Structures are given as structure tokens and as C-alpha cells.
């Protein structure tokens, strides 16, 4: 009986000490000043269309992605000029949405930002940015991210950016594909 009681106390003590170390580690990470993470728009586009060489502005919302023959590969839109009041944990959370020529989303990417990189990696690993991939613009409007803890402010901000771009982008589709 004494042995069991001692064993339980040791387990409780060890978990309390190690739990405290984890809390201290998380607290130190939160105290670090934010770091700017620069994301190249070109890199985002070429991650989907490796043969993209040019992007032409079509209207206020859309850009046409072209290959070296001037043929359209797909389209892109960015929330950079529009969502200046949408902030995540540290600051703005601009996104780029890339579609194919049939308006099916190929990628949703976070552009240059001040968010905590470890949380962005977690969201990426958990498939947050892929929730919209494979959906038409209209289908994507019904996506409601849920269950992404630890980076709630970032999730909400990115979702607001995507929702804004989807609602405006659908109403301003380029005429010629």
C-alpha cells in the first residue's frame, strides 16, 4: 500500500515538474518578439503552376497566370490590398487563392506575415490551408474551419480573408478564360 502511494506521488510530482517545464517553454515562445516571414508571391504561384512565367492583372480582384506562350494556366487573387483590418495573433494575415482555369481552388497560401511560424506549421500539417483545395469558388464559400486550437486568432483572420476574397472574387470573375 505504501509503495503504491509513493509511486502515485512520484508520478504526480514528475508530471507536475515536466508540465511546468512545458508551460515555461510555451511562455518563453509567446514572449519572443514577432518575426516577419516574407513569402514570395512568385513562389506561391509556381508551387502550383511550375511553368508560370507571368501574371497579368485582369480586374480589381483577379490575376491571370500565364505560361511562356502567353496561355492561361489559372487565376490568382490576393487579399493584400483589401483586408487591412483583418489581424491574426500578431498582425495582418494576407492570403492568396489560386485556381485552375475552371475556378477550382488549387491552393490557399498565407502571404508575408508576422504570425508565429510554429503555429503556421501546425496549421499546415493539420490541413487547415487545404480545406478549400479541390473546391469550386462557390463550394469553398461553405467551408467553416473548426477544431484548430492553439492558433485561433490566426485561423479566424485567415478565414475572414478567404471569405472576403471568395465573396468578392465570385462576383468579379474574369470574362475570358
Does the pLDDT value for residue 66 go beyond 90?
yes
Q: What are the structural domain ranges in the chain?
A: 36-171
pLDDT at 125: 94
Output the DSSP codes for 30-43: HHSPP--B---HHH
* Residue 76 β-bridge partners: 63, 98
The string of pLDDT tens digits covering residues 97-155 is 999 999 999 999 999 999 999 999 999 999 999 999 999 999 999 999 987 767 789 99
The grid cell for 160 is 475572414
Q: Under 8 Å CB-to-CB from 138, ≥6 apart: which residues? A: 170
CB neighbours (10 Å) of residue 68? Answer: 9
Q: All 3 cell numbers of residue 164?
A: 472576403
Q: Which has the higher per-residue pLDDT, 116 or 29?
A: 116
In 11-141, the DSSP E strands lie at 54-57, 63-66, 72-78, 95-100, 105-110
100-104: long-range contacts, CB 8 A cutoff, minimum separation 24: 100/73, 100/74, 101/72, 101/73, 101/74, 101/75, 101/177, 102/136, 102/177, 103/75, 103/136, 103/137, 103/173, 104/134, 104/135, 104/136
More confident residue, 173 or 9: 173
CA angle at 108 for the pair 175 and 46, rounded to the nearest 5°:
80
Integer-rounded Cα Rg, in Å, for the chain is 21
Q: Cell 480545406: give the residue.
A: 131
Amino acid at each position: 500500500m505504501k509503495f503504491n502511494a509513493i509511486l502515485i506521488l512520484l508520478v504526480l510530482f514528475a508530471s507536475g515538474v515536466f508540465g511546468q517545464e512545458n508551460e515555461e517553454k510555451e511562455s518563453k515562445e509567446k514572449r519572443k518578439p514577432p518575426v516577419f516571414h516574407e513569402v514570395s508571391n512568385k513562389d506561391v504561384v509556381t508551387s502550383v503552376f511550375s511553368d508560370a512565367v507571368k501574371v497579368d492583372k485582369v480586374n480589381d480582384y483577379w490575376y491571370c497566370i500565364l505560361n511562356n506562350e502567353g496561355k492561361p494556366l489559372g487565376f490568382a487573387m490576393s487579399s493584400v490590398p483589401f483586408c487591412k483590418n483583418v489581424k491574426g495573433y500578431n498582425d495582418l494575415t494576407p492570403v492568396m487563392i489560386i485556381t485552375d482555369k475552371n475556378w477550382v481552388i488549387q491552393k490557399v497560401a498565407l502571404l508575408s506575415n508576422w504570425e508565429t511560424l510554429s503555429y503556421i506549421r501546425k496549421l499546415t500539417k493539420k490541413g487547415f490551408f487545404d480545406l478549400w483545395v479541390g473546391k469550386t469558388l462557390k463550394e469553398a464559400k461553405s467551408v467553416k474551419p473548426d477544431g484548430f486550437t492553439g492558433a485561433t486568432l490566426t485561423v479566424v483572420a485567415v478565414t475572414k480573408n478567404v471569405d472576403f476574397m471568395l465573396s468578392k472574387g465570385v462576383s468579379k470573375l474574369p470574362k475570358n478564360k
